């Protein structure tokens, strides 16, 4: 795909996705319970073949899906994204047995996935995570031996917090500390089915209708067969997943911004004000122009980052961070301006903008807060400069 425009097939696909979101997904989303996994909605995403595409296409398609679904149904967008975030580590780093067991069910929407990295004491500084994976010798001989120096069996003990889809997911990609004091180099990723003994969780009530919760691990048993990637290399699994998903958080934001912009165009064109329409006021028209300008700039940066990802370019972390940062900050501005230009009606419960105003806030915090993205961009810039010297 050229970085700066969509081809006719992609444009038609996006229109089809927006229609599906409005006609097939929105009615299911409205029947869901805020704060809980909406399984009929996830199943419908599977039925429509959208979840399957998470594993057969790249970042560009992921972004187009997220942008288009977000335009008409943020709940469907988020349900799709979370299946991808939780299951991508299995797709990209899992063993054939793990992939065979879980990916078909994720793709059909019968198994719900989650990505468990954050902890109460480790959010932005994810490498400080403390959930312990301790070698368990009690079960020696009963489990596959992966290493010559002993049985590959651990017990997970600790907490995870702010985990989307928890505690209702069917499995979790869990990042645990296998080597104390080693920072990012001592983390291992495990695929933990929700029914493992010792794993419990509670839901958290958020500003937006996001299914999210905290998890408690009380000596949860895992074996080498549950590992995703290599021991102590789990941070790569996390960062590889985030490099794919960050531009797509930007795409989610662009979809919301476009919905807010279109609502504002319609409203300002028909709202009577001072012997004319709102749009006839130059200050209003200029605000609408600014909303459109910034939304389009963010969209281009998202497409460029996604294209760079799919082409295996060397500057993916920088582009992914830029796209996520610009698009999420832009969407906040656009939705807020849309609320202002609609006046009181935008704040009424159930109005599209009241919904978007609540939805647009969290993406500036999760998958790396805006400040963290700036840190990544600066680090990459200096590293590139030093490498060239
Ligand atoms: C709706 C929602 C869904 C989420 N889903 C998931 C999930 O599925 N899985 C998961 O693992 N986590 C998830 N999270 C957690 C999310 O990733 C963390 O909230 C995020 O990483 C920030 O961590 P924190 O909240 O602990 O904030 P902190 O790390 O305490 O940071 C607070 C603030 O401090 C500032 N700050 C922090 N570090 C820096 C820095 N280096 N430079 C400058 N300023 C800085 C920023 O303003 C930041 O917002 C979710 C969060 C939300 C809100």
Angle of the 370-388 helix axis to the 316-342 helix axis, nearest 10: 150
Active site residue 367: yes
pLDDT per position as a tens digit, 43-101? 999 999 999 999 998 999 999 999 999 999 999 999 999 999 999 999 999 999 999 99
Longest CA span, the chain: 84
* Beta-bridge mates of residue 200: 216
Q: Going residue by residue through the chain, which has 389 residues, state the pLDDT in tens, using 9 for 90 and above.
A: 455 689 999 999 999 999 999 999 999 999 999 999 999 999 999 999 999 999 998 999 999 999 999 999 999 999 999 999 999 999 999 999 999 999 999 999 999 999 999 999 999 999 999 999 999 876 544 444 444 455 579 999 999 999 999 999 999 999 999 999 999 999 999 999 999 999 999 999 999 988 999 999 999 999 999 999 999 999 999 999 998 999 999 999 999 999 999 999 999 999 999 999 999 999 999 999 999 999 999 999 999 999 999 999 999 999 999 999 999 999 999 999 999 999 999 999 999 999 999 999 999 999 999 999 999 999 999 999 999 99
Report how far residue 14's alpha carbon sits from residue 3's, in angstroms, rounded to the nearest whole number. 16
Taking CA atoms only, the protein residue closest to ligand 1 atom 52 is 366
Q: Is 46 in the pocket of ligand 1 (CB under 6 A)?
A: no
DSSP 8-class letter at 73 = -
pLDDT, tens digit, 9 for 90 and up, residues 212-233: 999 999 999 999 999 999 999 9
Centroid of ligand 1 to alpha carbon of 367 (angstroms): 7
Choice among 367, 371, 380, 386 that is catalytic: 367
CA of 146 to the centre of ligand 1 (A): 35
Give me the sign of the Cα torsion angle 19, 20, 26, 31. Answer: positive
Report the C-alpha gap between 135 and 121 in whole angstroms: 23
| Contacting residues for 150 by C-beta, under 8 A, at least 6 apart | 135, 137, 140
Contact 261, 291 (CB under 8 A): yes
| Predicted TM-score of the model (pTM) | 0.95
140: CA distance to ligand 1 center in Å?
38
């Amino acid at each position: 795909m050229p970085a700066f425009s969509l081809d006719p097939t992609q444009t038609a696909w996006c229109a089809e996705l927006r229609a599906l979101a409005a006609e097939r997904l929105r009615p299911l989303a409205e029947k869901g319970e805020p704060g809980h996994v909406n399984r009929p909605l996830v199943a419908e995403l599977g039925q429509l073949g959208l979840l399957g595409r998470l594993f057969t296409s790249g970042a560009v398609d992921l972004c187009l899906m997220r942008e288009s679904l977000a335009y008409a149904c943020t709940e469907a967008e988020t349900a799709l994204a979370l299946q991808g975030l939780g299951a991508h580590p299995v797709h990209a780093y899992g063993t054939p047995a793990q992939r065979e067991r879980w990916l078909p069910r994720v793709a059909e929407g019968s198994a719900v996935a989650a990505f468990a990295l954050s902890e109460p004491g480790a959010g932005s500084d994810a490498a400080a995570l403390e959930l312990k994976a301790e070698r368990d010798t009690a079960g020696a001989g009963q489990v596959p031996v992966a290493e010559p120096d002993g049985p590959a069996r651990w017990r997970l003990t600790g907490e995870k917090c702010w985990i989307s889809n928890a505690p209702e997911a069917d499995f979790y990609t869990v990042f645990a500390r296998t080597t104390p004091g080693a920072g990012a180099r001592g983390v291992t990723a495990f695929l933990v089915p929700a029914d493992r003994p010792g794993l419990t969780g509670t839901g958290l009530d958020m500003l937006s209708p996001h299914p999210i919760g905290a998890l408690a691990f009380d000596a949860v048993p895992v074996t080498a067969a549950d590992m995703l990637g290599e021991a102590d290399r789990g941070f790569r699994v996390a960062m590889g997943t985030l490099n794919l998903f960050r531009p797509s958080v930007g795409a989610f934001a662009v979809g919301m911004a476009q919905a807010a912009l279109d609502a504002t165009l319609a409203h300002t064109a028909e709202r009577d004000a001072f012997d004319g329409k709102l749009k006839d006021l130059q200050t209003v028209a200029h605000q609408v122009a600014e909303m459109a300008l910034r939304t389009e700039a963010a969209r281009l940066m998202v497409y460029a980052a996604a294209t760079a990802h799919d082409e295996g370019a060397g500057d993916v972390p920088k582009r992914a961070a830029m796209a996520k940062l610009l698009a999420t900050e832009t969407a906040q501005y656009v939705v807020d301006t849309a609320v202002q230009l609609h006046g009181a009606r935008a704040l009424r419960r159930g109005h599209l903008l009241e919904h978007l105003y609540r939805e647009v806030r969290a993406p500036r915090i999760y998958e790396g807060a805006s400040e963290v993205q700036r840190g990544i961009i600066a680090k990459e810039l200096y590293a590139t400069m030093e490498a060239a010297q």
